[in-house]
Each structure stands twice: as C-alpha cells, then as structure tokens.
Amino acid sequence: MDPNENNQAPDAPDSKKMNDVGELPDTFSLIRLRRLAKLGSSTRSPKPEDSSPNPETDAETSNAATTSEAKGKSPADLTPSSTPKPAAANPFTQLGVRSAGAASPTTEGGAQKRGSSKIDDRAPAPAPAKKANTEESVEDFSDRILSHVFRITVDPDRVTDINGPRLNFLSETGQELKENGSPLKLTAAVLDSALLEAVTAVPAEKPILGYLLPCFKRIIRSNIVKETPEKREILEEAKRLCVSNCLFALTIPDLFGRSQPESLVPYLLRGHEQDDGVCLDFLREAVKRFPEDEQFPAVFADAMHSISTKLSGLTMESDYKPYINALMSYTKFPPLLNALSQHPNFMTAQKSGAFVERETILGPFFRLSPLQSEVTLTYFPNPRGLDRSRAAPSQDALRAILRVHQDELFTIANAFIRADTETRTRVLDWFASAINTNHKRRAIQVDPKEVSSDGFMMNLTVILDRFCSPFMDTTFSKVDRIEVEYFRRNPRVDIKEETKLNADQSASDAFYAKKTEGNSNFITEVFFLTLAAHHYGSEATNSKLKSLERDIKWYEKHLTAMEAERPKVQNLAMFELTLKRHTAVLEKAIAMKYAIEGVFLDEKMQELSLRFMRYVAVWLLRLASQTNYTPDKDLQLPLPAQAPEAFACLPEYALQDVVDNFKFVYRYVDLRYLMSAVVSSSRSSVVSSIAN
C-alpha cells in the first residue's frame, strides 16, 4: 500500500529506537526527513496503470534526490558502525518516484523507440552494389607489363608509362601490327622483333647493357611467381629475350649495328643493388646459356681477367671492395669458376713470383694486404715517434681489416676447390706455381722485382692453413692419410734444389727417380703445399722482420752521425736532401716492422699455424720411428740408427720451420692464451667430427 495514499505524512524516525542501536541523527538529518515528509504529504494525481514512465523525468528526479541526500550526509553517516544498521526505508519509494535504473513495466501497446525507417515512413535504402572484380585480360597485362619493363610502346598515342616514365615508340613494329590487323598492343609473339628494334635504336654513344640490365631488374621485380601461368609465361619470355640480347651484345655486336662488343666489366663492378649492375639472377640466367655457345663463358672469364688487371694497380687504401665483390659473385656459380680456371691467364709459364702476383687472375686478389709499402705509413704515420704501446691500436685495426679480407679470400679459394675436379686441380696448380716461383725469397739477398710480396705470401699461407684445419684434430686420426710417397709421384711442390734432412743431392735424386704409382689424395696435396708455403711465406717474412730490426738500428746510427756533421757542411741544401731521403727510408722500415709484427701477432693466425706445426711434428716422428706414434702414446727411444730413406730425403725445411715457428711463438705471442685457444679449437673439431 502506498504510504501517501491517504495524504498522511509518514511517521518521523523514533529517536528512542535509534538510541537503542547507538545512533543519534544530527540536526541536518532531522531537517531533511521533515522536508521529505512535507513533500510526501502534498496531493498528487495517481498515474494511469497503462501509461509508460518517462525515463528522462525519472532520471532527473533520481539525480536531484541523490544529490540532495549526498549533501545532507554528515561524516558520521559515512563511517561504518561496529553494529549492523537496520535497513532504512527508501524515501523515494515513499514519494512514488521510480529510480532511473528500475525496469519499467511493458504493456501490450507500450511505446518503444522507433527506427528511422518507421519515423520517416520510408523503406530502408539498398546497400551500395559492389564493383565487379574484372580481372585484367592476358592481352592487356602483356601490353602493360612489357611496356613498363622495356619502356617501349607500339601505340603512337601512348607516350608515357602508367608510372610516369616516357615510352619509346616503335614505328616498325606498330606498322607491322596495323598491316596484320592486330591491335596496337605488345605481346610475347612480337616481343622479339620489338626488342631488336628497341635495342638497335639505342644511340651509338650509349651502351646496350645500360639499357637492357635495368629492364632485367624490372622483370625480376615483377613477382613472376605470383602471376597466373599465362602471365608468368609472358614474363619468362621477356626475361629470356632480355638475357639473350645481353649475351648477343657481348658476343655478336653486328646484330645491333655495332662494331665493338660491349664490356661487362663496369656492370660487374657496380654491384647487385644498382639498376644497371649485374646481379645474381642475371648470372644465374646467363650460366644456363653456357652450353649453347662456348663464347659465353669466355666472355665472363675475360671480364674477370680485366677486373683482376685493374685491381693489380690498387692497394688497400683504394676502393678495392667492388673488385672483391665481383669475384665473390662468381663463386656462387661453379660453371663461372670453371671458365675462369680455363682462362689462359689463370696460370702462367713464367718463373717469376712477381709475375704470378700481378698477372694471373687470382694474384691481385691475394696481393691486397696492409703489408704493402704504400699502406704501412697510413697505419703508422710518423713511426719514429711511436713505441709498442702507441702502435698497438693501429696494429689492432690492421689485423681486423686483414682478417676480413682473408675470410673473403678463403671463400673464393674454397669455392674453386668445391666447384668440380677439374677446377680443383687447376687451383691447386696455381697455389703450387705461386710457391715454386718464390724459392728466392729464402736467399740471403732478395730482389723484390723477382719474388712476390710479403702480403701476397702471407695471405697464401693463411688460406692454406685454413684448408688444413678440418683434418687437424687432437686425436690425429687422419695423420695416416698424409702419404710420404707424394714426392715420388708427380708432386706439385718442387724440392729438387732444397737441402735434404739427411741425404746429399745424388742420394736424393736416386731415391726420387724411383716413381710410385697412384695419385695423392687431397689431404696430402694440401699438407705439403702448406708446409712449403710456411717456408717461403711466413718464415721468409719472419726472417725479413729480423733483418729490418738490424737495418733500423743502422739507419738510426747513420742519421745521428749525419746530424753531428751538420755544422761542418757547406752545401746545406744537398745535405738536407740527403738527410730527408735517409729519414724516409728509416720511417718506411719502422712502419713495415710494426705492420709485420701486427700481422704475426694475430692470435687466430698463430693458433692455426701452431696446430699445423704440431701435426707436422707428429707426422715426422711417426716417419722417423716407423711407428704409429701419437701424443697419447709413448715414443720408443732411441730411434733406429739407420734413418728411413723417405725421412732422410725430405726437405730440411720440414723440420726447420717447426722449430722456427715455435721459437717465434715463445718469443712474441702470449702462450697461455694461444695454448688454450688451440685446445678449445681442437675440442670443437673433435665434437663436430663426432656429430657428423
């Protein structure tokens, strides 16, 4: 029953009851309740039962009452009591006011919010029709993509591509299409003649490859794989014709009205990223055509020979990276390496180490080194004012650059080794030629014009050391693969003029005159090549380091004496010129000394060298003792009184280089680090061999 039904005010709160529960309403609460009682006693007309409540009015009333109630509360009312409070009657219920959140009863004809369509008495607007997905026809695709790729058109009214570049109008091809009644569109059927017309129209002062190579790049960027088979066939045909015309420009210039063939060299040096640079995709397509014409591989080999010739005049201070990158691109394709190995300049019949370094194809790449005299003064300016501590940062930088270059050289050499049997044979012959033509490096007086440079020979030694690394494990499991019969077959290494361990020349000649049948395995070949490379390479450079130290002392002493004679000199201008020359020679010698020390103090290089020398020492002990000795076994001493003939006829440097290498390591290198590196590296090789 509604408490306001008889217009009677509701009873005021019983103060006695409130006192019983321990709560006394304050003055503001009593005033608020009295006002609510007066509001409840006012006469109101009852609402019809079927009328729907007005949500907006109810919400306003509820909000006003809530605000009034919140203002009337005291802090004491907000503090929870220790005893539970009785539920107070809701004054809004007494007033007959429904809260906004209360659900209103719904009648059969209850008013509900109408949709916009009912208000406007209009039918809902139809959804916009989707545009029909019309696929581009093959003919339209062919005309669009071929025009974009080759920058040509057969439509005289179409002067620019959809992307903006200007198109060249092919009048002859367009006229031919008109005569045949065909639409003026480029298709795969007319592309051959259209491309011939486009290439022939290239001005004589401009290279044809400068036009075709960017076209090839645009074909590659067209995502051939994502197209339908019909469209993919068009792009494949465009790629085939583009590569064919490139090869024709290199071999048959008459086809395009040219008298001289194109040069591939500048485009190989520009790199893969340039639009007119030779990329790996182009090389891959070109290699596929090698069986069609023997001129094709010869063209690429000639181009690399020209690059090598240009590189022979550069140093590490020059921009040499494009030349290295060009050869690195060739290493991805064995047919290209095979073509290089067949080139007349891959090997040389000359007996001069300097000729091998500069004139063979691989020579200039191995020649690059910080040990070049033009480069050493760049790393060590004003060397007379440097000591070891101040030279160390420059030596670190030198080693870092050299290590990167040697990594690239190993990648190149390893690609030749793995290409095929014929290419491997040729590159091993080249290594042997570089070693055999440098015997004079161990002479007392060395003519630099007749031998290879220190940088060339050091690079050669390091690369061969790396080839030995896979079989140099701590268990010496492959030491028996090294065949001492190597020198009695057809050895690549020439030891005829070398002093032997325990035999004179006649005894040695008689022993090696007895040939042994068979071919040496790869491990044997690399082992003896590396042993000889250490003798004529790193050990010869080590000897030069010792002579440089003596020369530096002599020059410093001589310059001091010249300075003391300055007051007595009458022709001062001539004296200053002579003094300047002597000072330049001294500074050059000091810079070279620091550079050689920087190279030799590379701990990674010395680690490989030390591991190889350990293998040589174990192999020599096995040969001398005629046992299967390894370091984990005891060696039977004394050795046989009669040395085995194969051991006695070995070159003396087989033992001498082991001794010299260990002497250098003990003198200059941090042995604790080096031995730990050797052990850890050996363990890694053992683990990898077990895993494989």
Residue 557 lies in a domain: yes
Residue 354 lies in a domain: yes
Q: Which residue has the higher pLDDT, 639 or 9?
A: 639
Integer Cα distance of 512 and 648 in angstroms: 12
Q: What confidence tens digit (pLDDT) does each residue in 204-244 have?
A: 999 999 999 999 999 998 876 667 888 889 999 999 999 99
Q: Give the pairing of strands 152-153 and 168-169.
A: parallel
Instruction: State yes or no: pLDDT of 58 exceeds 60.
Output: no
Q: What confidence tens digit (pLDDT) does each residue in 343-361 have?
A: 999 998 878 899 999 999 9
Distance of CA 559 to the CA centre of its chain: 50
Residue 73 lies in a domain: no
* Residue 169, helix vs strand vs coil: strand
Neighbouring CB atoms inside 10 A of 493's CB total 20
Integer Cα distance of 192 and 213 in angstroms: 17
Q: Residue 427's pLDDT is what?
A: 97
Can you tell me which residue has the tokens 């494009």?
A: 322
**Tokens describing residue 189:** 């059927």
Structural domain for 529, as ranges: 350-680
Instruction: Count structural domains, the chain.
Output: 1
Q: What confidence tens digit (pLDDT) does each residue in 295-312 have?
A: 999 999 999 999 999 999
Instruction: State yes or no: pLDDT of 75 exceeds 70.
Output: no
With CA atoms as reference, report the closest residue to 430 among 419, 441, 442, 417.
417
Residue 317 lies in a domain: no
Which of the 8 DSSP states describes residue 8?
A: P
The residues, any chain, with a CB within 8 Å of residue 307's CB and separated by 6 or more, are: 265, 268, 269, 323, 326, 327
Q: Residue 636's pLDDT is what?
A: 84
Q: Residue 670's pLDDT is what?
A: 64
Kindly state the helix (H) or strand (E) to which residue 103 belongs, with its residue range.
Answer: none
Helices 454-468 and 388-419: crossing angle, nearest 10°? 60
Residue 440 lies in a domain: yes
Query: What is the mean predicted confidence (pLDDT) over 582-602?
Result: 92
Residue 592 lies in a domain: yes
For the chain, give the percent of residues with pLDDT over 70: 77
Q: Which residue has the higher pLDDT, 677 or 266?
A: 266
Residue 231 lies in a domain: no
Can you tell me which residue has the tokens 């400068």?
A: 210
Residue 540 lies in a domain: yes
Q: Which residue has the higher pLDDT, 12 or 455?
A: 455
Q: Residue 566's pLDDT is what?
A: 85
